[in-house]
């Protein structure tokens, strides 16, 4: 009886497991590359995104101190490769087609951006024992103007008051 | 006879289930060697805040990056200044930037910055703590909250804020230091947005 049950479980599990295993088959491709700027200097810590065009699935890797990266294993298919890093324009991208077992090498030249923007978290303390803390909006400079500052009175029994 | 493929399939199935909840790789880049106690507390606090909204973090160091570890998502966090209590940074009444997240061409980039010195200046009771180790742990917890806030921007790709919790548009020092201050789960249901 027990053997029959085990056999039945195997019969049910086998197709299911094979179905789940199929996508892992053939993941033997890789992409390597180098990220550099206009002067051919290495761009370290750029986030390189490899996107399979058909499925939209993405993998990311961080370029090393010499600007190099390697992404594997990947399935055969068409891929879009792009790199981003602050102070550089994010449009550097390449397309590669990977056949089974193949490897592609790509060079990604990044162009410096003129303006760098940030969204910031700011805080300050005022002289009257109250705290002014607010998050600034998006701006190219010191633009905190998009959000109203909020003044909050500190509790006088706070153990953290000076 | 079917044992081998069944076992292989089960292993693959398990791997796929684990990959479905694959962590976000967060690379830390320190200006100066930090306090271990502060870093441990920071990671614990940020991990706890994000874990509550179903996001796992795999912590990495930029200094140890070899350029070959893939993640589904990556965020790079630069920690500027000294991430340890030093007992010498005076408090200030100037506006202090505690953290930033980069934006380019209207798109929020997964690059954030946490300013350890600014946090230390904002919280002199921590900066001047008599027990340096406890002070570092307290500093780490606040840094973890600032970091979690920036990860909210970097991961969701949004410059927007919520009305409550760690993602709201203003925070007090009491909140930053409180025993329990984290995200509202609803904050993370936002879709990645492009800044207009």
Q: pLDDT at position A30, please?
A: 94
**Cβ–Cβ of A121/B97 closer than 8 Å?**
yes
Instruction: Report cis status (omega within 30 of 0) of the bond before A73.
Output: yes
Q: pLDDT at position B129, please?
A: 83
Q: pLDDT at position A152, please?
A: 38
* Residue B111 within a domain: yes
**CATH number of the domain within which B142 lies:** 3.40.390
**Distance of alpha carbon B128 from the chain centroid:** 24
Sign of the dihedral through C-alpha B180, B185, B190, B192: positive
From CA B36, how far away is CA B54, in angstroms rounded?
Answer: 26
> Which of A7, A13, A52, A86 best tests the B interface by mutation, with the highest count of B CBs <10 A?
A86
Picking from B6, B94, B108, the nearest residue to A14 by CB comes out as B6
Q: pLDDT at position A40, please?
A: 95
Q: pLDDT at position B10, please?
A: 59
**Chain B CB within 8 Å of residue A130 CB:** no
> Which of A105, A106, A121 best tests the B interface by mutation, with the highest count of B CBs <10 A?
A121
Could you tell me which chain A residue has the CA closest to the CA of B1? A10
User: Could you tell me the residue range of the domain that residue B26 belongs to?
Assistant: 21-189
Contacts of A145 (CB under 8 A, 6+ apart): A137, A139
Greatest Cα pair distance in chain A: 82
* Residue B137 within a domain: yes
ipTM: 0.83
The tally of domains found in chain B comes to 1
Q: Does domain A23-109 have CATH number 2.60.40.10?
A: yes
pLDDT per residue, tens digit, chain B (196 aa), is 556 666 666 555 555 554 456 899 999 999 999 999 999 999 999 999 999 888 999 999 999 999 999 999 999 999 999 999 987 887 776 667 788 888 877 788 999 999 999 888 888 888 888 888 899 999 999 999 999 999 998 998 888 777 778 887 667 777 888 888 888 776 676 544 433 2
* Residue B33 within a domain: yes
Q: pLDDT at position A151, please?
A: 40
Alpha-carbon distances, residue B106 vs A9, B16, B184 (angstroms): 54, 35, 26
**Cβ–Cβ of A84/B65 closer than 8 Å?**
no
Q: Where are the domains of chain A?
A: 23-109, 121-153
**Chain B CB within 8 Å of residue A141 CB:** no
Residue B68 and residue A73 in contact, taking contact as beta carbons nearer than 8 Å: no
* Residue B16 within a domain: no
From CA B169, how far away is CA A133, in angstroms rounded?
Answer: 9
Could you tell me which chain B residue has the CA closest to the CA of A91? B105
Q: What angle do the packed helices B3-20 and A2-21 form, to 10 degrees?
A: 50
Residues 85-104 of chain A whose Cβ lies under 8 A from any Cβ of chain B = 85-86, 88-90
Q: CA of A69 to nearest chain B CA: how many angstroms apart?
A: 4
Query: How many CB pairs lie under 8 A apart between chains A and B?
Result: 189
Residue A78 and residue A54 in contact, taking contact as beta carbons nearer than 8 Å: yes
pLDDT, tens only, B154-192: 998 888 777 778 887 667 777 888 888 888 776 676 544
Q: pLDDT at position A55, please?
A: 94
> Which of B78, B104, B179 best tests the A interface by mutation, with the highest count of A CBs <10 A?
B104
Q: pLDDT at position B124, please?
A: 81
* Residue B3 within a domain: no
pLDDT per residue, tens digit, chain A (162 aa), is 556 656 665 666 655 555 554 455 567 899 999 999 999 999 999 999 999 999 999 999 999 999 999 999 999 999 999 999 988 887 667 899 999 999 999 999 998 876 566 666 666 554 444 444 444 444 443 333 333 344 433 333 332 222
């Amino acid at each position: 009886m027990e053997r029959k049950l085990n056999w039945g479980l195997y019969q049910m599990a086998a197709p299911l497991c094979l179905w789940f295993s199929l996508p892992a088959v053939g993941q033997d491709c890789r992409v390597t590359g180098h990220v550099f700027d206009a002067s051919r200097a290495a761009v370290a810590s750029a986030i390189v995104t490899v996107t399979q065009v058909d499925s939209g699935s993405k993998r990311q890797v961080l370029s090393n101190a010499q600007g190099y990266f390697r992404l594997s294993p990947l399935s055969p298919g068409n891929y879009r490769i792009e790199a981003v890093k602050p102070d550089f324009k994010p449009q550097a991208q390449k397309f590669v087609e990977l056949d089974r077992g193949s490897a592609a090498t790509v060079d990604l030249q990044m162009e410096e951006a003129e303006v760098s923007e940030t969204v910031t978290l700011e805080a300050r303390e005022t002289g009257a024992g109250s705290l002014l803390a607010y998050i600034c909006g998006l701006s190219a400079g010191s633009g905190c103007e998009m959000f109203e500052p909020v003044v909050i009175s500190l509790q006088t029994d706070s153990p953290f008051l000076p | 006879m079917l044992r081998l493929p069944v076992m292989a399939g089960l292993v693959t199935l398990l791997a796929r289930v684990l990959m479905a909840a694959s962590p976000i790789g967060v690379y830390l880049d320190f200006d100066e060697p930090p306090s271990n106690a502060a870093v441990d507390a920071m990671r614990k606090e940020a991990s706890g805040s994000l874990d509550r909204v179903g996001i796992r973090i795999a912590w990495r160091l930029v200094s140890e990056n070899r350029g070959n570890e893939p993640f589904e998502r990556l965020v790079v966090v630069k920690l500027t200044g000294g991430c340890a209590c030093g007992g010498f940074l005076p408090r200030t009444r100037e506006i202090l930037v505690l953290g930033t997240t980069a934006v380019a061409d209207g798109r929020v980039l997964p690059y954030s910055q946490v300013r350890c010195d600014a946090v230390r200046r904002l919280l002199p009771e921590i900066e001047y703590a008599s027990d340096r180790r406890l002070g570092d742990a307290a500093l780490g917890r606040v840094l973890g909250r600032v970091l979690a806030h920036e990860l909210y921007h970097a991961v969701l790709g949004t410059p927007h804020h919520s009305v409550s919790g760690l993602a709201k548009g203003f925070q007090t020092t009491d909140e930053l230091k409180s025993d329990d201050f984290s995200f509202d789960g609803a904050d993370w249901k936002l879709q990645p947005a492009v800044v207009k």
